[in-house]
Amino acid sequence: MSVFSRLIDAIGETASNAFSSVVEAVRTVFAGDPETRRRVAFSVAVIALSAKMAKADGIVSPAEVAAFQEIFAVPPEEAANVARLYNLAKQDVAGFDVYAERIKGMCGSGNANCAMLEDILDGLFHIAKADGLIHHKELEFIAHVADIFEVDEAHFDRILARHVHPDGVDPFAVLGLTPDTPFTEVRKRYRQLAAESHPDRFAARGVPDEFMLLANERMAMLNAAYGEIEKSRAAA
């Protein structure tokens, strides 16, 4: 039986109007398999929060649906189960803060700026910007989720710089630095972030293989930012 089938069987009819029971079911159904539990928890988090974000925005564009499918490659046999979970979260009367609080508890470290929670925020940004414009309600939604996730302002600004840049990408903002930062510090920060963002680190955090697109996107942004700074300093 597939993991989502096991999850659907576990919640039965009890989750007809309360997605929170799904989050609790993830803990119990896969209690003996921590690796699978991490992967399912991450998938459930993205399903739940993207559904709530769509409801907050009021419009689900075809591009956003395609972006969801792009990072969530659902096997045909799982399509009905994933659709049920998505619709359940969207229809639940509970506010998204309820889900965000429960999802925060899934973070293994329990610390602020949890890496797995940053991965989830990247997934939400990927979906929100798919139609070429992040609606202000979507941005407010993601920022509020980040607050609940205990992502501090400086860290969120760095995440934001990877996804929202109407005046062009600021390579220093992507690395969380200022333009007057010595190049030795730029190199040090880049190497630190690159190590943290390596696809192997994503896998270790329980991010499913289909979400590796997020790791590749983040690495591409970091590489481009560092390359631009390195080039500008060499030309100075």
Would you kindly state where each structural domain of the chain is located, as residue ranges? Answer: 3-235
The pLDDT of 78-91, averaged and rounded, is 76
More confident position, 114 or 169 = 169
Q: What is the pLDDT of residue 18?
A: 64
The pLDDT of 114-118, averaged and rounded, is 86
More confident position, 173 or 98 = 173
The DSSP 8-state label assigned to residue 73 in this structure reads: -
CA separation for the pair 169, 162 (Å, rounded): 8
Among all chains, which residue has been given the structure tokens 């690495």? Answer: 219
User: Is the predicted pLDDT of residue 13 greater than 60, yes or no?
Assistant: no
Q: What is the pLDDT of residue 188?
A: 97
Q: Where are the beta strands (DSSP E) in the chain?
A: none
